[in-house]
Structure 1
Amino acid sequence: MLEKTFDPKTVEPRLYAAWEQSGAFAPTDNPNAEPFSIVIPPPNVTGSLHIGHALNNTLQDVLIRFQRMRGKAALWLPGTDHAGIATQMVVERQLAEAGNMGRRDMGRDAFIAKVWEWKAESGGTIVNQLRRLGASCDWSRERFTLDEGLSAAVRKVFVQLHKEGLIYRDKRLVNWDPHFQTAISDLEVEQKEVDGAYWHFAYPLEDGSGEIVVATTRPETMLGDTAVAVHPDDERYKGLVGKMVRLPIVGRLIPIVADEYADPEKGSGAVKITPAHDFNDFQVGKRHGLEAINILDAYGKINENAPEEFRGHDRFAARKMIIEQFEALELLRGIEKTRHQVPHGDRSGVVIEPWLTDQWYVDAETLAKPAIKAVEDGKTVFSPKNWEKTYFEWMRNIQPWCISRQLWWGHRIPAWYGPDGQIFVEETEEAAQARADAHYGQPTALSQDEDVLDTWFSSGLWPFSTLGWPEKTSDLERFYPTHTLVTGFDIIFFWVARMMMMGLHFTGEVPFQRVVINALVRDQTGAKMSKSKGNVMDPLVLIDQYGCDAVRFTLTAMSGQARDIKLSEQRIEGYRNFGTKLWNATRFAQMNGCVRVEGFDPGAAEQTLAKWIRGETAKTAAEVTAALEACAYDEVANALYRFIWNVFCDWYLELAKPILNGADEAAKAEIQATTAWVLDQCLLLLHPVMPFITEELWEKTAEEGPARAGFLMTEPWPDYPADYIDATAEAEIGWVVALVSEVRSLRAEMNVPPGARVPLTLAGAGDEAAARLDRHRDLILSLGRLQSADLGEAPAGSVPFVIGEATGSLAVADFIDLAAEKARLTKEIAGLDADIERVNRKLGNPDFLAKAKEEVIEENRTKLADAEAAKAKLGAALKRLEGVS
């Protein structure tokens, strides 16, 4: 007999260890099995499991467990990303806290050795946390982006792209982090709204005829101005285009140019152009052949290209000095306070500078063309499909991809420099040296590029490098292209697009057939989770409190087609109760002798109830299978919840009790065997979503009846014949369920006391309905808490309802105070009317819609919908009462 309760804390680690040790996570060796592969979006090696990871990896695990049970060679390949800047930051911070020397004092080799040491000790945290989530990855194939095999793939890709002219070195603007002294990607830039100002500066015309006023939020950059731009159609400045102004403080003469970038409606309509320190200005500079003067060093301090008095000063100190000088020169024309977005490094927290520097770039525009066509042709599809638009917009406007980072931890760029700056790009130092010696005609010392590659470069190779490319491995042949990628929409640009480009270029095939975009997890009000708000939900804490299965089911159930998931502990608690319901149903079955029978054939069942539940099981299996194939995860959870809680536990087991307690031994034996069979099907269908409780029940129910072949997770997925659905049984039991449901609903609406036994009459019932009433009368009386259930006309004081062709009547007048109930309902409806009016006023107020946060607006819309639904229900109940005579 089962214990009274399921204990996740003891069961989960025991079962997971048994699964992993058995090798059940590895794909089957059956050569005829259809391959189905997923590569994990590699979490940062510095990371720990957050709620976004929990969602993404739960959805992947649901899918891989389903396909494994279908007999496919299911591979879920795990691994971690070396996370260049994040990992380097962690180790540098640890060195500082321990009072050790910094990385530059240690030297590159010693520092890298320290990072590998940290990785060996602490780098597996998130991998072990994924195990706690139940992730059935094939850990024997686990990869790391700095593995030697993956590193070899990176070197080969870099060298080949360079030889093809698709990787090159160029001087362009990058997002520069002055704290880490490195370029960072757009993904690592966080826009923060801060208090600032527009300073309006006057630039005198060279000929002394006047001045032109520009406005800037970054006064220090004026030291690098090389033009002033006005719109070509701006009548105010047509006579000034081509003239020169003298740049105050610096004294440099700069031209006034006509360019559509200048907005006549914004400020004075004239804008200062600093090509070395603004991305838009850089493009203006290219159009007009302007000089790009970099006035900042790598630390964000003024460099030698500015007047001497500013050199060595921090950019913000220089800002203050420049404003003071403009004021002293009487060229400050105004200060306009503002709130504006300023880019910050997401890890350093410092203001990011657009900075002109030499970096390595990929010709992303060329690589993007086949990747665009692959999605246009349907070789890779997005789900939901609307995300294809996002993909196309990014890819069709793609810019050169800066791939070099001024870090030490990562894939060092395989480029070596000769004494005259000649570059030799090869996979090995030996090959580069051989080329250099041939080039110079004698042995010549080389120095390797100090930079490492952007982590997105190596992760862009992830689907094929992890399978052994460039070697022609059996895994690569069997599992590439992968089938499904499950990821968040926020990295479509940074990861999905790059995998598409790299996969097509180096293998000739798309890296995955389908991209499933999962939602973002927010708190129960729809607000973004953040530590500062105190609304972060730690999945590991939730697992400790409610069990892994409850967390997984909640995330699956809420992962619909919408962008956001509003997560609350109440939902998780509710789905824990769902697991408890299944556990208790299994205990009930055991206590009533519902043991699996060797050779039992549900298709041969004779009892109407057995035929009905068999058909409901078959319909649910078809619904769940179709939803899993489509990755419609919420539909999977909803179908399972409805069937297990409502159909099986609430209805079938109640309907089965009279037979289980009856004298008909043949009927009893069939219902016992059927119950045990349905329980097995519940466990099979639910297993991908709630693997632990289902595996435990599978093991425990094996203690009686025939032996099990092995783990539930390796059992075949249910597939039932069409004739399992019996239309006659479905109609009959469906009628009973509908009748009892109407009775229960009316009792609740009318506030009939639970202990009251109310008479029921059916008028206008045909022969079939009359026969059903006669066959199931005792059951209907028990489930509906009725005094009687007979054919006949409605007595006085009855509330009517429709059931098929008949009209049912529930005689409630003797059990409730009609006047008091009408008054109660009228009062509740009035309260809802007031709520509806108040919320409608809010939602109809343009100021509220303009100023309120989106989650607050959405919360009010939900309140309105709930109130209107409640009013409709209460209104229907009041109408029924008013009809009672």
Structure 2
Amino acid sequence: MLSSDSKFLKPYDPGETEKRIYALWEQSGYFNPDKLPGGRTEPFCVVLPPPNVTGVLHMGHTYEDTVQDVAIRYQRLRGKKTLWLPGTDSAAIATQARVEKEILKKENKSRHDLGREELVRRVTAYAKESENLILNQIRQMGASLDWSRYAYTLDEKRNLAVNTAFVGMFNAGLIYRGQRIVNWDPKGQTTISDDEVVHEERVAKLYYFKYAKDFPITISTTRPETKVGDVAVAVHPDDPRYRTYVGQEYEANFCDVPIKIKVIADQSVDRDFGTGALGVTPAHSQVDWEISERHHLSRPQVINEYAKMTVAGRLNNLKTTEAREVVTTWLRTEGLLEKEEEISQNLSLSERTGAIIEPLPKLQWWIDVNKKFKLKRSEIPGLIAGAEISLKELMRQSVESNAVSMPQERFRKAYFQWVDNLRDWCLSRQIWFGHRIPVWYRGEEIYCGLATPAGTGWQQEEDVLDTWFSSSLWTFSTLGWPSQTEDLKNYHPTDLMSPAYEILYLWVSRMILMSGFHLGQVPFRQVIIHGLVRDKTGRKFSKSLGNGVDPLDMVAKYGADAVRLGLLFGTAIGSDVKFDEAKIKGQKHFANKLWNITRFILENASEASSGPDLTETDQALTDQLDQIIAAITEEMENYRFHLASEKLYHYVWDELADKILEASKLILKDNDTHAAESRRRFLRETLEKVLIILHPFMPFITEEIWQTLGKAELLMVEPWPIKPSVL
């Protein structure tokens, strides 16, 4: 007898199903751990890596969100008190830049024409208008996030957390204001961190020349225009070619600019690059700045914030690229240019604007990662409260002790290498949208606090904090810190962090730093890094290649379940995913296969009861499925979702559909009543087990079928069908 629901006579329709099912989940309240049934006590918490509030869902988000939703839905079925906490990030630099561009286009005004208050108001309004777009797109993928706990990096609670964190680190002596070389973005007109710099391999010219005819040493550089800012030539102390010149000083007029050069010996010089002699330009190179510190050299700045030359003479106010041509022409004319050769060079670019980075000396706010401080509290193995430790040591110990488990060895090694080479973190950004640094000035006085200091004449710092500062507090600021909330007590440390490898250094490492300092805890117990989603040939998605794919177009065409399973299927977490629409289409066929299996079982076993004992054959089939479920459970526990989904797919298609259902047709027609009743019971129980196990991967279709079975409770909170004896 066919189920009274005739929808099974037609192919599965995800477009008709998915919105209705998601609304059912939201109405149940079960995304909120406080409302889950069954007296659950063991927590399992994941915080969503916050997408940009002004962004749109792309394939990378879709894959990342699917991985996390599979983990959350699985743990919910295992009876845990699951919290998946949603939020968005302000993406301050990108968001302000987008609004400024529109204002310039429509009103022909700059941010300085509008003033700080008006610009921030407009950017805030734009961010709020854009917010619902990305959140609704995340919903369309089936994400079982607790929307009642939604957080935004610039909301009032997170602002308090950010200011509290800054003040705490300032008072500990870890945040300081100092003049250092920064990565300056001439297009964005702000500093950016090392981790926001991307490197692009380009062909460059390496020029070999002398400063003057009587200068004894040939140097080489790809940036001859910066040589008007040189104060020294550094050579390796063991290089016999230059030993007699060390300590000598020379004067020259280099392209209209008087320079004074001292020959110094420094261990950092690479004897095998170029001539083995390095022209030292302290104000425009991080390496040269450090050399100048060791040798007490002056640091004349010759390039400004707009990447233009500031020296007098023929180079004045020229762009650096223009000045390069002028300098090389002058070198040729003067007979100083000895040779030039093409080399491959990694050019530093701003990730957000694409501008060539200009190293410049700037007075900025920094976090000192090497300075020792007293750890107030600690739950991290190997670190005791009261210990004197640096932030670098804290970050290393958190992972070395396995308090943060990083089972993917290549990422673990990369993390340690990055920590060991970490430099002080530049916190200040020269924009207006973001968390304004909680520091005030009055003459020579500096005050750092949560509110404006008493008295008159105080001026707050104009700069805002690097957006990664607020993001690095994410695991605990979203749980209510600095208040000691029940959520913070119950869910921190969180259980899983699964971001792309692109932000291992930008975000994961900094969360470990911040959580360790402020809470004495790790932010999460396990890190599973995932790869990037690329096109089927392995290329990155990009506008220039025209190979981008909108995940929502795929959802409209094939359904969210097919997109989810298609992204997970066949690729281990950590490897790059090669997106192929044929895989998504294949998973739509799989959804229809499940739909047809259900139709057969409802037609033939809708009246099945739990009464009859199973036949020997059906018991063997049940035992086989229990063993498969045990194997799938092991894969799920170890985040091998690709293997779990493949095992389940092959059971459903190759065993259940192709073999068991075909054999069932004969058994159900036979005169053996006991065998038929046993098979009906087996089919009904098998369908229910399959729906539960498949639910984390394909939540919409499984919940839709479950509702047809007349169950009192939603599938999303059913117990996982594992037998302890099998485990």
TM-score scaled to structure 1, two decimals?
0.77
Instruction: Kindly state the Cα deviation for residue 309 of structure 1 after the two structures are TM-superposed.
Output: 4.1
**Aligned pairs, number:** 698
The answer on 1:176 being equivalent to 2:184 is yes
The Cα of 1:41 is off from its aligned counterpart by 0.7
Query: Counterpart of 1:175 in 2: which secondary structure?
Result: strand
**Partner residue of 2:381?**
none
- Measure how far apart 1:547 and its partner are: 1.1
- Residue equivalent to 1:720: 723
The offset of 1:561, in angstroms, is 5.0
1:512 Cα deviation after fit: 0.7
Query: 2 CA distance for matches of 1:375 and 1:188?
Result: 23
Residue in 2 aligned with 1:709? 712
CA contact (8 A) 1:301 1:313 kept: yes
Look up the match of 1:416.
440
Q: Is residue 395 of structure 1 aligned with residue 400 of structure 2? A: no
| Percent sequence identity over aligned pairs | 41
List alignment gaps of at least 5 residues for structure 1: 435-442, 703-707, 726-885
* Distance (whole Å) between structure 2 residues aligned to residue 490 and residue 568 of structure 1: 22
Which residue number corresponds to residue 339 of structure 2?
334
CA contact (8 A) 1:372 1:392 kept: yes
1:4 has 2:10 as partner: yes
Deviations 1:127-165 (A, max 9, x none): 111111111100110100001111001101111111110
SS at 1:689's partner residue? coil
Query: Quick check: 1:158 aligned with 2:169?
Result: no
- CA distance, structure 2, for counterparts of residue 100 and residue 596 of structure 1: 73
Q: Which residue of 62, 76, 96 corresponds with 1:68?
A: 76
Alignment partner, residue 145 of structure 2 = 137
Q: Cα distance, 1:456 vs. partner? A: 0.7
1:434-492 per-residue CA deviation (whole Å, 9 max, x = no partner) reads 3xxxxxxxx44011111000011001100000010011111111111111111112211
Q: Find the counterpart in structure 1 of residue 503 from structure 2.
A: 491
> How is 1:52-67 mapped onto 2 (pairs within 5 angstroms)?
52-67=60-75
- Cα 1:348–1:606 change in 2 (3 A) is closer
Q: Counterparts in 2 of 1:532-681, with a 5 A limit?
A: 532-591=544-603, 593-595=604-606, 597-598=608-609, 600=610, 605-681=613-689
Letter in 2 for 1:50: H
Residues 138-147 or 319-328, more deviating = 319-328
Match of 1:452 in 2: 464
Of the three residues 15, 22, 27, the one matched with 1:21 is 27
- Residues in 1 aligned to 2:616 and 2:171: alpha-carbon distance in whole angstroms: 74
Alpha-carbon distance in 1 for matches of 2:554, 2:565: 12
Task: Classify the secondary structure of the residue corresponding to 2:569.
Answer: helix
Look up the SS of the partner of 1:264 in the other structure.
coil
Deviations 1:493-519 (A, max 9, x none): 111111111111111111111111112
Instruction: Tell me which moved more, 610-619 or 137-146.
Output: 610-619
Tell me the residue number matched to 2:373: none
Partner of 2:271: 264
In structure 2, C-alpha distance between the alignment counterparts of 1:596 and 1:253, rounded to whole Å: 96
Tell me which residue corresponds to 1:519. 531
Equivalent in the alignment of 2:405: 381
> C-alpha displacement at 1:31, in angstroms?
6.1
Distance in 1, Cα, partners of 2:138 & 2:88: 12
Q: Distance in 1 between matches of 2:212 and 2:316?
A: 24
Q: What does residue 782 of structure 1 align with?
A: none
Q: 1:772-794 CA distances to partner (integer Å, 9 max, x unpaired)?
A: xxxxxxxxxxxxxxxxxxxxxxx
Cα deviation digits, residues 622-654 of structure 1 (max 9, x gap): 122221111111111111112111121111112
Q: CA deviation at 1:722?
A: 3.4
Counterpart of 2:298 in structure 1: which amino acid? Answer: E
Q: Is the 8 A contact 1:43 1:80 kept in 2?
A: yes
Instruction: Please report how far the alpha carbon of residue 368 of structure 1 lies from its aligned counterpart in structure 2 after TM superposition.
Output: 2.4
Contact kept in structure 2, 1:203 and 1:211, CA below 8 Å: no
User: Separation in 2 of the partners of 1:558 and 1:522?
Assistant: 14
5 Å-filtered alignment, 1:460-499, equals 460-499=472-511
CA distance in 2 between counterparts of 1:611 and 1:699 reads 27
Counterpart pick for 1:315 among 308, 317, 320:
320
When residues 631 and 721 of structure 1 are mapped into structure 2, their CA distance, relative to the original with a 3 A threshold, is closer
- Higher relative helix content: 1
Contact 2:193 2:425 in 1 (8 A): no
Contact 1:384 1:561 (8 Å CA) reproduced: no
Q: What is the CA deviation profile of residues 643-679 of structure 1, one whole-angstrom value per residue up to 9, with x for unaligned ones?
A: 1111211111122221111111222122112111111
Between 308-317 and 130-139, the greater mean CA deviation after superposition: 308-317
Contact 1:383 1:517 in 2 (8 A): no
Do the aligned residues in 1 keep the contact of 2:195 with 2:505 (CA within 8 Å)?
no
One-letter amino acid matched to 2:295? H
Do the aligned partners of 1:609 and 1:656 also contact (CA within 8 Å) in 2?
Answer: no
Distance in 2, matches of 1:307 and 1:245, equals 21
Do the aligned residues in 2 keep the contact of 1:154 with 1:458 (CA within 8 Å)? Answer: yes
| 106-115 vs 711-720, greater mean Cα deviation | 711-720
2:3 counterpart residue number: none
Counterpart pick for 2:300 among 282, 293, 299: 293
What is the alpha-carbon distance in structure 1 between the residues aligned to residue 243 and residue 471 of structure 2? 51
Matched residue type, 2:260: L
Q: Distance in 1 between matches of 2:498 and 2:64?
A: 7
Asked whether the equivalents of residues 557 and 636 of structure 1 are also in contact (C-alpha less than 8 Å), the reply is no
Deviation larger for 73-82 or 26-35:
26-35
Matches within 5 A, 1:712-861: 712-720=715-723, 722=725
Residue 475 of structure 2 aligns to a residue in which SS? helix
Separation in 1, partners of 2:398, 2:270: 38
**Deviation of 1:718 (Å):** 1.2
Which protein has greater RCO, CA pairs closer than 8 Å, 6+ apart?
2
Distance in 1, matches of 2:449 and 2:574, equals 47
Question: Which is further off, 531-540 or 642-651?
Answer: 531-540
